[in-house]
Structure 1
């Protein structure tokens, strides 16, 4: 199963800022606080400001419009709960909504976490509601001096980490499907197996439904991003798109494998039910004439033969046994048994 995830960006402060970095253009970065970020201007060629914000914090919507002159519809998108993946160019800025798998405690793989992104080539904002590990991965790269060097590579780094993190959930599903396929269905609890397979299929469908639009959003970034998103960034995005396409293929395989396993479990369950019903029908067919015979001889009216004959009981028993043997012989001949 999946290993525990490292701590996410769930720190709460009195400001919307979760963390901020100023990229030095060489793979490193320095930390920056909220107050300093308000009036930030590039102090050296190649510097880029990255702010990771809680979009649910008070005043974020107004700050986007007043400090960065972001148009009202775009500002609303950046702080809204509309989480369907999309990306578009707005003048010289890039706006995107992306989704990552939720690795927070108690979450299921199909519970996606959204991240809004805005960049003008000099500043880049990422906004989230729920804790998200992807920005921390890129932050760790920067703090180690091997991170992105400009806004374009920062966007590609974020998308790469987000897509790579899907691999853990997909591998988990594939391994669970393989384990279930290797089990002896006859010896396992069919209901328990079926519930696990249904859960995998539901997760696969949810991931496929969410990741399909993400594929389109990444293609939009690679195709329509402004000029500051350089050619090597477009190649990196293309590689991420190819990886996402492969993950989507893996999800499709998991879904189809789950369907096949579900069909097999249901077919075996149906066969078992039909076999039980068949046996009950045979038993009923055997005892129906015997019941009729004993019922007829058991009526309490005058003139019943053998009432005063002590041998009559055994005659009836022998008659019932003879009828049963004749029935069994007929059933065998007709291949009912």
Structure 2
């Protein structure tokens, strides 16, 4: 189910308040859909129930709703609706607040064009907010609708985090596939295209590293000081995500170094080809230099030039020039210049 398909189920009130979708987790891996008013009035009716609300933070009135309905302090509510994208995480009165980033896989977008997502969660409610479409929450929603999703608030938070980080691997694999292709192409025919692709890959690596390194710190903060309502399994899952993200950051460094090596190889091949061309031109110039001197000397228009009255002088001159050229070629070969 895409976000657009889910939005078709929304009421006018949902749309007006920026509700993208909302689910009540049943504690067994499934969930039921709820709309805006029910989500606002919701209270746990059965053990294990958790409310998840996914909002468009650009909708009007979200900040006031967070303050008045959820009871968030003004500073926290401002953070939840701000366009600040620097990842961080902290606890406030037992609740977890985090700003995280996901890779933008929307059509026409660049992977390094990250999408930020704000998250507030306590033991019974999880609220996520975003401005642009983000795939990871939709994937978690699909799991819930299929009956095999997370069962607790801690499980929901860790699953969202896992999905955000897992999609980073897809971008790295795409770049590595391009690098593998670049290693096999004929640089003499696709020189400019290869350099353009390498420049894009290097920019992507630098951008992803710059954006995702703070996310590693944010997740590490969650791992060090996880909320009390996180289970031991949730804590292990967070540590595993941190280790995976650390590995992905290392993979980015490897991809960047591979791109640099390929570019160096292209540059060295281009320089070698240029040197060969210049060398051949120098040899040609060296061959024709004495012949050019002789023909120039014989072409001066002054008295006393030999062969002016000899009908065989031109033939003799041509034979002499050919002999000089052959002599030069023999000398160049002796010197191993050719």
Q: TM-score, normalised by structure 1?
A: 0.90
Q: Is the 8 A contact 2:104 2:111 kept in 1?
A: yes
Corresponding residue SS for 2:16 = coil
CA distance in 1, matches of 2:4, 2:28: 24
Q: Is the 8 A contact 1:28 1:147 kept in 2?
A: yes
CA distance in 2, matches of 1:280, 1:214: 56
CA offsets, 1:150-205, max 9 Å, x none? 21111001011222222322222223322332x25367523323333333333222
Q: 2:103 maps to what in 1? A: 101
Corresponding residue SS for 1:165 = helix
Larger RCO of the pair (alpha carbons < 8 Å, separation 6+):
1
Q: 1:54 maps to what in 2? A: 56
Cα RMSD (Å) of the superposition?
2.1
Q: Is the 8 A contact 2:187 2:266 kept in 1?
A: no
Q: Is the 8 A contact 1:85 1:99 kept in 2?
A: yes
CA distance in 2, matches of 1:277, 1:8: 60
Q: 2:16 maps to what in 1? A: 14
CA distance in 2, matches of 1:121, 1:29: 16
CA offsets, 1:10-50, max 9 Å, x none? 84823210011122223222211112222322223332221
Q: Is the 8 A contact 2:97 2:119 kept in 1?
A: yes
Q: Is the 8 A contact 1:65 1:75 kept in 2?
A: yes
Cα distance change of structure 1 residues 248 and 108 upon mapping to structure 2, 3 Å threshold: same
User: Does 2:289 align with 1:288?
Assistant: yes
Question: Where do residues 230-249 of structure 1 align in structure 2 (5 Å cutoff)?
Answer: 230-249=231-250
Q: Is the 8 A contact 1:9 1:136 kept in 2?
A: no
TM-aligned CA deviation for residue 318 of structure 1: 2.5
User: Does 2:207 align with 1:212?
Assistant: no
Corresponding residue SS for 2:279 = helix
Cα distance change of structure 1 residues 187 and 33 upon mapping to structure 2, 3 Å threshold: same
CA distance in 2, matches of 1:204, 1:117: 26
CA offsets, 1:64-99, max 9 Å, x none? 222223222222221222212221122312111111
Q: 1:65 maps to what in 2? A: 67
Equivalent residues, number: 331
Q: Is the 8 A contact 1:9 1:18 kept in 2?
A: no
Q: Is the 8 A contact 2:187 2:194 kept in 1?
A: no
CA distance in 1, matches of 2:255, 2:165: 18
Any gaps of 5 or more consecutive residues in structure 1? 1-5
